[in-house]
Amino acid sequence: MAPFFKTGISESLALAADSAMTARLSRTRPWLRLIAFIPISILSVLMTMIALVFISRLAPGLEERMAAMGERLDDTPFRLIEESIQTLVFAAGLGLISVSFLAAACVTLRAPLREFLWPGRRFDWKLFGAGALLMTAIQLLWIPFALATGGEWRPPVLDSYYPEHTRIVYAAAMAAGLLVAAAAEEVVFRGVLLRVSGLFTRRALVLCLVNGVMFSAIHLDPDPVSFLQRTLAGMGWTWAALRLGGLEFAIGSHFANNFLLVLIWSPMSAAVQVQQAPWSVIVPELITSAIVVTTVELLARRRVGAAPCPTAPDAA
């Protein structure tokens, strides 16, 4: 049993290292293109952020909302409307930044957009759905554990303190906003940065660790437990991208994770507050990571030998 298990792990690592997400993007002077990518991507993101600042000054009230981003909103009966607006504004900004980052990568590395997302094939809705369904099931299963460890359960969408129509608006806004935000983060980390990291090494575990740490660090959360939680989540989504050859599963899983958090636990502005988490929460995170990796392996092995999806011709 042990040799079989060891062989299975070695095979999975080898297949992940040979993933389409680590294939060299450019055959001509890749290192020079990488050197050019760094300043161009930084400049592109900065220009996008400057443009967002100007736009915020033109739209009434938008500048104040952007300045208050990340702050906890007052718990008034119409709080969920404010939560909705703030989340949509945040998602729009994050989406534009990710697009500019992706565009810089496409230009400097001379690769079509699809090569950073799902190389050589179309978007796979089944993988997206599998990721979303898996994380939804996991989140629901952890509710009893959270309550048993002293967690407070006050689902915003079920709380009669908030008028019914505001809860409906909130659910719709969270679905749209968090889908855009999750896709944006996956494009940046499991898309562009993973492909760029593949120029240095194709070792799957190294790529997962580096990508997970970068993903956690960008959230600027000083709590070591939260940092480790996000690192584990980022590593799992990186493994999914490597083994499945695209971002669909990671986007679906990432979206469902965030959506369920703000839907059944606490409003968005409360969920993103920096707080000291107990080390006990690492246990469910480790179990979640194991479930994600196992599911990804099952999906990847089912796809072996399947005919590739037809791809659309590149735009001129």
pLDDT tens digits, 109-161: 888 999 999 998 999 999 999 999 999 999 998 888 777 766 677 889 998 99
- Looking up tokens 């000083």 gives 222
pTM across the whole model? 0.89
CA distance 232 to 229: 5
Instruction: State yes or no: pLDDT of 18 exceeds 50.
Output: yes
For residue 192, give the nearest of 32, 18, 38, 53 by alpha carbon. Answer: 38
User: Residue 272 — pLDDT band, cuts 50, 70, 90?
Assistant: low
Q: Which long-range contacts (CB under 8 A, 24 or more apart) does 291-294 make?
A: 291/134, 291/138, 292/134, 292/135, 292/236, 292/237, 292/239, 292/240, 292/253, 293/236, 293/239
CA distance 122 to 124: 6
- Confidence (pLDDT) at 17: 86
Query: How do residues 208-237 score in pLDDT, each as one tens digit?
Result: 999 999 999 998 888 899 899 999 999 999
CA distance 84 to 86: 6
